[in-house]
Structure 1
Amino acid sequence: MGRILVEKDVEAAVKGGSVYAAGGGGWADHGRMLGYAAVSIGKPELVAVEELKDDDWIATAAAIGAPASTTPWEMRGVDYVRAVQILQETLSEKLSGLMIGQNGRSSTLNGWLPAAVLGMKVVDAVGDVRAHPTGDMGSIGMAGSPEPMIQTAVGGNRSENRYIELVIRGATAKISPVLRAAADQSGGFIASCRNPLRASYVRTHAALGGISLALALGEAIIEAEKKNGHAVIDAICETTGGHILAEGEIAAKDVVYTSEAFDIGTITVGSGDKAVTMHVMNEYMAVDDAGGNRLATFPSVITTLSPEGEPLSVGQLSAGMKVHILHVPKEIIPLSASVLDPTVYPSVEKAMGIEIARYALGNNKSPSP
């Protein structure tokens, strides 16, 4: 049986999602806005994909852009609803459920409001347990597919006449960059609904149970907050199965915003032979030690926590701050087909100037059955 999502689940989703945001993943207040709107307007129900029929349609509710940047973005709850409506009209069949492309500060809740308003289920499946920079990484194996997909984007800064409604059809890898361009034109952040797929496909290609993971983590964090920051960090490690890879003061931050709506660069934590370098593309994608040896790589979870255990986004970091770097190895989280798809890595490696695929695709377990 499904689980009706209620008011107390909103904060759990935001807090758990903030850890899996891996330095990106939107704004906590935006997540709260979406969640509280959803639970007050209806009864969003979280269901396992097994509860849907094989040929039911599931699409991905998402947000696109780099809202850690200082851009004039504006996105309203209604934009997520409109994006789903336009996709459903274009598909000319009813959607049964909405999944999400990734967990994050707000993205864990991306499906709740449209599902509550339009009478769909929130499917407990994600394109990636953690947040990632490109839509292809959450596309559950569609990135390299020639099959035409439908993607929509809705939103924008109204006062600057940046509001956009876009529907586009084509191969996922060719149309995803168009949505990024729309995000940039709209002010940096736009609501999206994309890639309608049958439930049978989602069942074998998505990372199943990904929203429940975020909710369970958030509940553990809320419980630990009654004690202290140390207890919060312990609870995060215990619940995720992760560990603190390194800790220290931020020595340098060198991150720039690009016209493709990405924040790209590096963050150095600690000094001397204890220093580590975090490689950023919206999110933390890799960590190297002082000798240039790789310590952690996407799709493992990499997150910066304050000494109080608060997950910090790339945009919140500045030199001199003390951080703990959480690492949850990819071997212990459900992985989707898209993070095991070699075609999603070249564009990211090119933008970042580092190797990702070799580490991401080595010694992996297959997607959850």
Structure 2
Amino acid sequence: MGRILTLQDVDFAVKGGSVFACGGGGWVEHGYELGKTAVTIGRPELVSIDEIDDDAWIATAAAIGAPGDLTDWEMLGVDYVKAVQLLQEALGEKIYGLIIGQNGMSSTVNGWLPSAILGTKVVDAVGDLRAHPTGDMGSLGLANSPEQTIQTAVGGNRQHNQYIELVTRGATAKISPILRKASDQSGGFIASCRNPIRASFVRQHAALGGISQALALGQAIVASEKKGGTAVIDAICKHTGGQILAAGQVKKNTLKYTDQAFDVGVVQVGTGKSAVKIHVMNEHMAVDNAQGERLATYPDVITTLDLNGQPVSAGKLKAGMDIVVFHLSQSQIPLSSSVFDPSVYPPVEAILGIDLHSYVLPRANTKKAKKG
């Protein structure tokens, strides 16, 4: 049976999702706004993939862009709903449920408002347990598919006449950059609904149980908050099986917003032999030590936390801040087919100027949710 999502679940989703956001994945206030609206005006329902008929249509609810402090973006809850409606109209059939491309500060709740208003189910599966910079990285291995698909985008800064509605058809690799450009034109952050697929495909290729994992982590965080920041950090590590990779002051943050709607740069934490360098493209994608050795690489979870245990977005990491760098190995999380798709890495590697693909575990696709 499905689970009706509640106001308490909103808190769990945002707090757990913020750890999996890896320095990106939306915006905390936006997540609370979306989630609280959804559970107040309707009854969004979380369902397991095992409860869904193989032929049911499932689409991805996503937000595209870099909603930090570097752009004048605006996105409303109705934009997520309108994006689903446009996709249904283009498909000519009803969307049964929505998955998300990634967990994040707001993206964990991307499918909740359409569920409350349109009745689509919130499917407990994700394109990526952690947040990532490109839509292709959460596309369940469809990034290089020649098959035509549909993607929609809705939103923008109304006051600046930047509101956009967009419906595109074509191969994913060709139309995903169009939505990325639309995000930039809209002010830097836009809602999308994309890539309608059958539930059988989701069952085979998604990271199953990804939303439940964010909710469970959030619950563990909430349970520890009254004991202080150290207890919260300990709870995150204990619940996930992760570790603190580094700790120290932020010394430098070179993040810049690009016209492809990416925040790109390097964050240095600490000094001397204990310093680490975090490579950022919207999210924390890799960590090197002072000797240039790789300590962590996508799809590992890499998250910066302040000393209260609060995840800090990459764009908000300022020189002088004391932080810790949390790390959860890819071997300990469910991975989708996207992670093993070689076509998703070159565009990101070209922008970052580092190797990512060589560090992906050469193992069978593991989609079963980790217990705990």
TM-score (norm 2): 0.98
Separation in structure 2 between the aligned mates of residue 71 and residue 251 of structure 1, nearest angstrom: 23
Q: How does 1:1-369 map to 2 (within 5 A)?
A: 1-360=1-360, 362-368=361-367
1:96-149 deviation line (CA, Å, top 9, x unaligned): 100000000000000000111101110000000000000000000100100011
Give the AA of the match of 2:143.
A
Deviation, structure 1 residue 226: 1.2
Deviation, structure 1 residue 304: 0.3
The SS at the match of 1:158 is coil
Separation in structure 1 between the aligned mates of residue 102 and residue 256 of structure 2, nearest angstrom: 23
Deviation, structure 1 residue 364: 3.2
Deviation, structure 1 residue 251: 1.2
Separation in structure 2 between the aligned mates of residue 24 and residue 3 of structure 1, nearest angstrom: 27
Sequence identity percentage = 65
Q: Is the 8 A contact 2:255 2:315 kept in 1?
A: no
The SS at the match of 2:227 is coil
Give the AA of the match of 2:240.
T
Give the AA of the match of 1:321.
M
The SS at the match of 2:83 is helix
Deviation, structure 1 residue 69: 4.1
Separation in structure 2 between the aligned mates of residue 245 and residue 19 of structure 1, nearest angstrom: 14
Give the AA of the match of 1:39.
V
Q: Is the 8 A contact 2:217 2:240 kept in 1?
A: yes
Separation in structure 2 between the aligned mates of residue 71 and residue 281 of structure 1, nearest angstrom: 15
Q: Is the 8 A contact 1:25 1:131 kept in 2?
A: yes
The SS at the match of 1:159 is coil
Unaligned 5+ residue runs, structure 2? none
Give the AA of the match of 1:34.
L
Separation in structure 1 between the aligned mates of residue 147 and residue 10 of structure 2, nearest angstrom: 36
Q: Is the 8 A contact 1:16 1:214 kept in 2?
A: yes
1:26-66 deviation line (CA, Å, top 9, x unaligned): 11110011101110111111011111100000000000000
The farther-off stretch of 91-100 and 62-71 is 62-71
* Aligned length, in residue pairs: 368
Q: Is the 8 A contact 1:53 1:199 kept in 2?
A: yes
Separation in structure 1 between the aligned mates of residue 364 and residue 267 of structure 2, nearest angstrom: 30
Q: Is the 8 A contact 1:69 1:263 kept in 2?
A: no
Q: Is the 8 A contact 1:69 1:257 kept in 2?
A: no
Deviation, structure 1 residue 339: 1.2
1:219-246 deviation line (CA, Å, top 9, x unaligned): 1111100111010000000111110011
1:74-94 deviation line (CA, Å, top 9, x unaligned): 100000000000000100001
Unaligned 5+ residue runs, structure 1? none
Give the AA of the match of 2:286.
A
The SS at the match of 2:190 is strand
Q: Is the 8 A contact 1:244 1:324 kept in 2?
A: yes
The farther-off stretch of 62-71 and 94-103 is 62-71
Moved >6 Å (runs of 4+):
none
